[in-house]
Chain A
Amino acid sequence: MNYVSKVLAVIDKDVRSEYRSKYALNSALLFCVTSLVVVSFSLGGSVTDPRLQAALLWIILFFSSMMSLPRAFVKEQDCGTMNTLRLTCEPSQVFIGKMIINLLLLSVVTAIVSPLFFILFNISPPHPGFFIITAASAAVGLSAVCTLLSAIVAQARARGTLFPVLAFPVLMPVFMVAVEATGKSLLPQSPWANSQLLVFLACYAVVGIVGGSLLFEFVFNE
């Protein structure tokens, strides 16, 4: 099998097992919807500042990914299937495959939660294109870093609390910029003057993917 087909095999395996249990997707979506309802219920229509709305949306997405993304490797560790992965694939293949799975998960959650958020907060996004590019590039960076951290916490204790602690400072730049860019996309003025924010998110995503796949070897190989 060549490189790409092994990556596809990793993705295929995870999509199948996720399709059977729907555990990660369900828990992430339920978390998002619950917190969205709580936020919208307690704040009502009082939050009209686009920056604040953007911050709320990203806080919800950030914490839901803190819950669902570490499962990528924690699951393998718990089922004792980590060694099977080590035997069958190169580390970078596993990393890319798991990263794409996490990206898919995050994209589905974002694609469902964002419209819901806009409806509940009565926003009709004036620049959906800018928002979609922001969310997509932030999601790539987020899933790359979270995949590496997932492999780290899989070998540690107290994973549930450790993961956000490890992830928060590293993801801080991408979080801040994503909030800023989303806020701009909710303003009536054209946000394209701020496209340097998107450049930053894209650069962060590349650093995440390249750095993640290089460092992943050391985490994965025992």
Chain B
Amino acid sequence: MTDVIVRIRGLAKSYRRGGQSVPVLEDLDLDIRSGDFLALMGPSGSGKSTLLNLIAGIDKPDRGTLEVEGVDITRLGESDLARWRASHVGFIFQFYNLLPVLTALENVELPLVLTSLGRRERRERAELALSMVGLSDRVKHYPSELSGGQQQRVAIARAIITDPTLLVADEPTGDLDRVSAGEILDLIGRLNSELGKTIIMVTHDQRAAERAHSIVNLEKGALVRAT
């Protein structure tokens, strides 16, 4: 039995829209085990992205606790939370979110700028990460010179470079064709199976969700079925 790495209790979040409070998540409990590959599914507006943002520490809940490795991140101040994100979370976005003015290598290296590593070691690690995603020959390319699938692989290299506790992916194949999407899902799957990364992935795509070990369905801010 593996350890619980993310423990969510009584989590609630609402947004204000036109002076009214619209609940997105209500009293949600969820445990995620270390090394799990979890797919968050549900219709638009069900709160799956909000839940992912809360777990990744880029949004704050109204109520409830959210412990990652025993640390309740809802209690962290803004700059502690930034530091926590830098060392514990790797992000994979739907639109890759690479910085267009930086090369593939520099994009991958960026999170390491926040560490105490020297420039040379940062470069070496970034090159290693790029070789792990199969882009050793695209080190000096800018994002605009890469295909969508290649850009997403650079983004994955960036996400794993700090060896984070959690990898969060928001619709990682949402902007890709079938072939590229399949390759990206293979890569994410390998990060889980070979490197033991805990992955939380929001997706609409049933085929993507099938790669996951477990699927959590959200509907109107509540868990409807966990497998």
Q: Do A and B bind each other?
A: no
Q: Which residues of B contact A (CB under 8 A)?
A: none
Where the two chains meet, the residues of A that have a C-beta atom closer than 8 Å to any C-beta of B are none
